[in-house]
């Protein structure tokens, strides 16, 4: 069964990596929304002692982000660990300028704070032009106490805006996105806690990047700035990797990754790695009853085509997608290219699946849209992924990504995760009998009717509204397509794969 759903080592297409096809005997626990994740991370790091090893990668880091209402900041938590002798090593994306609504200044402050406490945090710009390191992982290893070893993988960055609750009132330390989400943008996300042999595979993913001896940036201006600022450009060598933790559960986990094709390549992926794309395409092809998707983007006809093919070939298959109502970028230049990409992808899916495509966007009790940052896909309650990758060409080919594909021989884990997410969106303690797509449709129609009536009477239970992408006028689409293809959703595949239309 595992060979039917997971990629084989040959299908991964990257013989240069040290990670194996998959591991068995793992335990996985989903942490829904940032408050739950930060609380778990806080407790786990507080247990670490001198000689333990803490590794992390991130897209954005805010040292001032609190891990609980009255608790320490993430910066203070990591620094305290380093000061008591924990070996703290981080890789954070260098980022583009803050003027472009990115986080270069925040990431620099985050790295310097950790370095000042005795840890190491490298600002890594070994990406394609316009690309990013988007992986979000934390690995905690405890020599002599392997029962405490664990890793965290998912969509939640160590930064502002992420510590929201299931009520979705927003993080008290918000991040600035489009004003359509209010002053404190409600934020829905998912992270995994993993224990067992897979922890060693996640650690190996970190080590491959850390041990890459190439320059952290090819930009000579970056080199000059970092030299003048006496920034750490020569990281210490990591201690030898401990044996993988012993089996602790029944789940099989496969790590899927994206590394782009880039001049000079990576030692661990000289031609890139596109196992996220290949893993999805293999699993989605097996879908027969239901694909449940939560995604920040759901862009790109090139990516949506694998879902469209499954809908076309299986007349009993339904696709449920939960997406944000509005792009996160404000202004026409920021939002219209994203809407252009999504409208084309949804049009392709609608043509293939008709009324078997069900797309929704959530809002909180106050009617404020909830920004969906989660990256979850469940196929027939059998194969499930959670990670950093979005359904977009950028995530599948251009930026670095990491996701966990999971199989459970009992079928319990995928179904339980999907049902837990469904209950949150429907505001139900238990799901009623019947096809879940019909339950979603009925709930969303009731909430939409309440809005259309002028909010007369009690607000119906449920947070979902039907999602219909705004129409992009033809004259807008002409320029939005160019911006979308070059900036928002670029292609990181080598020429031969582009020509073949393959990943």
Residue 256 has pLDDT above 80, yes or no: yes
Q: State the pairing for strand pair 187-188/371-372.
A: parallel
DSSP character for 379?
E
Q: What pLDDT is attached to residue 452?
A: 97
Which of 405-438 are b and which e, b meaning 16 or more Cβ less than 10 Å from the residue's Cβ? bbbbeeeebbbebbbebbebbbeeeeeeeeebbe
Question: 258: which 2 tokens?
Answer: 């994206």
* Boundary-marking domain end, from 241, 267, 299: 241
- CATH value at residue 129: 3.30.870.10
Q: Is 348 helix (H, G, I), strand (E, B) or coil?
A: helix
Question: 160: which 2 tokens?
Answer: 């502002």
Q: What pLDDT is attached to residue 233?
A: 81
Q: Quick check: 21 and 8 in contact, CB under 8 A?
A: yes
Beta-carbon contacts of 129 under 8 Å, excluding residues fewer than 6 positions away, are: none
Q: Is 465 helix (H, G, I), strand (E, B) or coil?
A: strand
What's the pLDDT band for 101 if we cut at 50, 70, 90? low
Q: How far apart are CA 205 and CA 208, in angstroms?
A: 5
Average pLDDT over residues 60-85: 96
Beta-carbon contacts of 338 under 8 Å, excluding residues fewer than 6 positions away, are: 297, 299, 327, 329, 484, 488
Residue 241 has pLDDT above 60, yes or no: yes
Q: Quick check: 43 and 72 in contact, CB under 8 A?
A: no
Q: pLDDT tens-digit profile of 175-211?
A: 999 999 999 999 999 999 999 999 999 999 999 999 9
Q: Is 180 helix (H, G, I), strand (E, B) or coil?
A: helix
Average pLDDT over residues 106-113: 94
Q: pLDDT tens-digit profile of 333-369?
A: 889 999 999 999 999 999 999 999 999 999 999 999 9
Task: For residues 459 and 343, state if they share a domain.
Answer: yes
Q: pLDDT tens-digit profile of 375-413?
A: 999 999 999 999 999 999 999 999 999 999 999 999 899
DSSP letters for 264-326: T-BTTBTT-EEHHHHHHHHHHTT-SSEEEEE-S----HHHHHHHHHHHHH-TT-EEEEE--SS
Average pLDDT over residues 269-281: 98
Q: What pLDDT is attached to residue 234?
A: 84
Q: What pLDDT is attached to residue 66?
A: 97
Q: What pLDDT is attached to residue 219?
A: 86
Task: For residues 313 and 184, state if they share a domain.
Answer: no
Q: Is 335 helix (H, G, I), strand (E, B) or coil?
A: helix
Task: For residues 222 and 316, state if they share a domain.
Answer: no
Q: What pLDDT is attached to residue 331?
A: 81
Residue 102 has pLDDT above 70, yes or no: no
What's the pLDDT band for 99 if we cut at 50, 70, 90? low
Q: Cα-flanking dihedrals φ and ψ of residue 56, to 5°? A: -150, 150
Q: What pLDDT is attached to residue 221?
A: 83
What's the pLDDT band for 300 if we cut at 50, 70, 90? very high
Average pLDDT over residues 238-258: 97
Q: Quick check: 376 and 406 in contact, CB under 8 A?
A: no
Q: What pLDDT is attached to residue 98?
A: 59
DSSP character for 400?
B
- Residue 416 structural domain: 252-498
Tell me the angle at which helices 331-353 and 301-313 cross, rounded to the nearest 10 degrees: 20
Average pLDDT over residues 218-230: 79
Q: How far apart are CA 63 and CA 79, in angstroms?
A: 10
- Domain assignment present for 15: no
Task: For residues 237 and 310, state if they share a domain.
Answer: no
Q: How many CB atoms lie within 10 A of CB 445?
A: 15
Q: How far apart are CA 300 and CA 342, in angstroms?
A: 7
Q: What pLDDT is attached to residue 470?
A: 87
Task: For residues 87 and 218, state if they share a domain.
Answer: yes
Average pLDDT over residues 76-86: 98
Residue 107 has pLDDT above 70, yes or no: yes
Q: Is 495 helix (H, G, I), strand (E, B) or coil?
A: helix
Question: 95: which 2 tokens?
Answer: 């980022």
For the chain, give the number of residues. Answer: 503
Percent of the chain with pLDDT over 90: 91
Task: For residues 391 and 319, state if they share a domain.
Answer: yes
Question: 323: which 2 tokens?
Answer: 């997406």
From 489, 413, 448, select the one nearest 132 (Cα to Cα): 489
**H-helix segments, 84-197:** 104-116
Look at the chain and report how many structural domains it folds into: 2
Average pLDDT over residues 478-498: 95
Residue 229 has pLDDT above 90, yes or no: no
* Boundary-marking domain end, from 211, 241, 271: 241
Task: For residues 201 and 328, state if they share a domain.
Answer: no
Residue 230 has pLDDT above 80, yes or no: no
DSSP character for 464?
E
Task: For residues 181 and 107, state if they share a domain.
Answer: yes
Place of tokens 């990409």: 341
Question: 113: which 2 tokens?
Answer: 């704070």
For the ranges 230-234, 289-293, 368-372, the lowest mean pLDDT is seen at 230-234
Q: How far apart are CA 263 and CA 311, in angstroms?
A: 37
The CA radius of gyration of the chain, in Å to the nearest whole number, is 22
Q: pLDDT tens-digit profile of 465-477?
A: 999 988 899 999 9
Q: pLDDT tens-digit profile of 28-59?
A: 999 999 999 999 999 999 999 999 999 999 99
Task: For residues 104 and 126, state if they share a domain.
Answer: yes
Question: 314: which 2 tokens?
Answer: 């299986």
* Boundary-marking domain end, from 241, 265, 280: 241
- Domain assignment present for 71: yes
Average pLDDT over residues 124-143: 96
Residue 92 has pLDDT above 80, yes or no: yes
Q: Quick check: 49 and 86 in contact, CB under 8 A?
A: yes
Average pLDDT over residues 15-27: 97
Average pLDDT over residues 137-151: 97
What's the pLDDT band for 100 if we cut at 50, 70, 90? low
Task: For residues 216 and 290, state if they share a domain.
Answer: no
């Amino acid at each position: 069964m595992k060979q039917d759903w997971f990629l084989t080592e040959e299908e991964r297409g990257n013989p240069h990596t040290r990670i194996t096809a998959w591991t068995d005997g793992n335990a996985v626990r989903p942490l829904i929304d940032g408050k739950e994740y930060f609380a778990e991370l806080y407790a786990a790091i507080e247990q670490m002692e001198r000689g333990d090893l803490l590794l992390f990668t991130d897209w954005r880091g805010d040292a001032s982000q609190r891990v609980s209402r009255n608790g320490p900041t993430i910066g203070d938590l990591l620094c305290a660990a380093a000061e008591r002798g924990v070996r703290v090593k981080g890789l954070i994306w260098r980022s583009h300028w803050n003027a472009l609504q990115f986080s270069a200044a925040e990431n620099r402050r985050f790295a310097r704070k950790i370095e000042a406490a005795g840890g190491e945090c490298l600002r890594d710009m070994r990406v394609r032009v316009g690309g990013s390191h988007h992986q979000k992982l934390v690995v905690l290893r405890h020599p002599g106490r392997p029962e405490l070893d664990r890793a965290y993988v998912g969509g939640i960055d160590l930064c502002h805006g992420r510590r929201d609750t299931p009520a979705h009132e927003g993080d008290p330390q918000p991040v600035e996105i489009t004003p359509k989400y209010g002053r404190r943008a409600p934020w829905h996300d998912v992270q995994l806690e993993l224990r067992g042999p897979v922890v060693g595979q996640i650690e190996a993913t970190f080590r491959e990047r850390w041990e890459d001896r190439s320059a952290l940036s090819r930009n000579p201006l970056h080199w000059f700035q970092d030299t003048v600022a006496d920034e750490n450009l020569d990281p210490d060598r990591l201690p030898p990797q401990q044996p993988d933790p012993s089996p602790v559960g029944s789940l099989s986990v496969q790590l899927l990754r994206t590394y782009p094709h880039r001049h000079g390549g990576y030692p661990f992926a000289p031609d890139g790695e596109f196992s996220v794309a290949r893993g999805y395409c293999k699993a989605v092809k097996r879908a027969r009853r239901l694909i449940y998707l939560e995604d920040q983007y759901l862009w790109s006809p090139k990516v949506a085509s694998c879902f469209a093919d499954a809908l076309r070939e299986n007349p009993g298959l339904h696709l449920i997608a939960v997406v944000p109502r509005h792009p996160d970028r404000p202004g026409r230049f920021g939002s219209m290219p994203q809407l252009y990409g999504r409208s084309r992808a949804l049009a392709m899916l609608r043509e293939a699946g008709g009324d078997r495509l069900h797309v929704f966007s959530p809002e909180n009790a106050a009617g404020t849209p909830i920004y969906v940052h989660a990256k979850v896909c469940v196929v027939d309650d059998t194969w499930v992924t959670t990670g950093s990758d979005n359904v977009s060409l950028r995530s599948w080919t251009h930026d670095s990504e990491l996701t966990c594909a999971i199989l459970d021989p009992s079928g319990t884990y995928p179904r339980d995760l999907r049902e837990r997410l469904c209950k949150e969106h429907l505001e139900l303690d238990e799901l009623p009998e019947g096809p879940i797509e019909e339950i979603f449709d009925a709930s969303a129609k009731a909430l939409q009717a309440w809005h259309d009536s002028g909010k007369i009477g009690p607000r119906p239970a449920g947070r979902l509204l039907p999602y219909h992408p705004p129409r992009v006028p033809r004259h807008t689409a002409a320029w939005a397509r160019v911006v979308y293809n070059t900036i928002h959703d670029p292609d990181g595949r080598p020429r031969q794969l582009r020509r073949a239309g393959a990943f």
